[in-house]
Amino acid sequence: MRHAIYFTPDRDHPLARAAAAWLGRDAFTGAAVTPPAVSSLSPSEIAFHTAAARRYGFHATIKAPFRLAAGESTSSLLDAVEAYARKTPPLLVPRLVVGQIDGFFALLPSGGFAELKSFAASVVEVFDRFRAPITESEIGRRNPETLSAEQFRNLCQWGYPYVFDAFRFHMTLSGRVSGSEAARVRAAIEEVVEPVLAEPVSIDGLAVFVEPEAGGPFTILSRHSLQPVQERKIA
């Protein structure tokens, strides 16, 4: 079993609903969702291009999937995430835009990069005590030969290559797509999600995802709302 700490909007947020429809699965319930009708791709083509992203559910990686350290439990992790959320204010991303990162289509932030990087770094550090040390086989599955020296050090020390200066906020919507197919996939994604991207997006919670068995779909165990400073003072 592995856990992960991700950002995802509240289940009823228009972006969460649109993304669940595009991916074909609601990570809050694990239920399949009927894909939307789009002009550039058939339902089977959408299912093909979203297969990898569908397993993980709609999210932005903050603390990548990890096995629990000895002496820790799901309960202790959830309690710690709740305590952290109660003392951490939300962040505002001016806008999310459709783009590609390493060949994957994803939603990328249009600003707020320094704040997002600082927030993610804090989560990585605070919750590392819950992570069991990475194994040689887990390192091998990350294709270390493709990583930079910095990314490889991150992988060995923190269990994930893309942390701190290497962190890139993104919410994955497809597998790798290239060539002429990329234009068709982009058009389909934009048709589905552009209507809900007009407003800023609040990074207002942390969700604990769980993978019960290797290779299985991730589902959301709990979502913990970040608490604005004013609310904390009143409490």
Rounded average pLDDT over 42-69: 96
Q: How confident is the model at residue 28 (pLDDT cuts 50, 70, 90)?
A: very high
Q: pTM for the complete prediction?
A: 0.93
Using a pLDDT cut of 70, give the percent of the chain over it.
97
User: Rounded to a whole number, what is the distance in angstroms from the first to the last CA of the chain?
Assistant: 36
Q: Where are the domains of the chain?
A: 2-234
Report the top-level CATH class of 2-234: alpha beta
Using a pLDDT cut of 90, give the percent of the chain over it.
90
For 103-129, what is each residue's pLDDT tens digit? 999 999 999 899 999 999 999 999 999
* Alpha helices, H only, 100-167: 113-126, 136-141, 149-158
Which tokens sit at 76? 């202790």
For 137-184, what is each residue's pLDDT tens digit? 999 999 999 999 999 999 999 999 999 999 999 999 999 998 889 999
Query: Is residue 234 scored above 50 in pLDDT?
Result: no
Cα–Cα nearest to 195, from 28, 23, 36: 36
CA separation for the pair 62, 52 (Å, rounded): 18
Q: How confident is the model at residue 82 (pLDDT cuts 50, 70, 90)?
A: very high
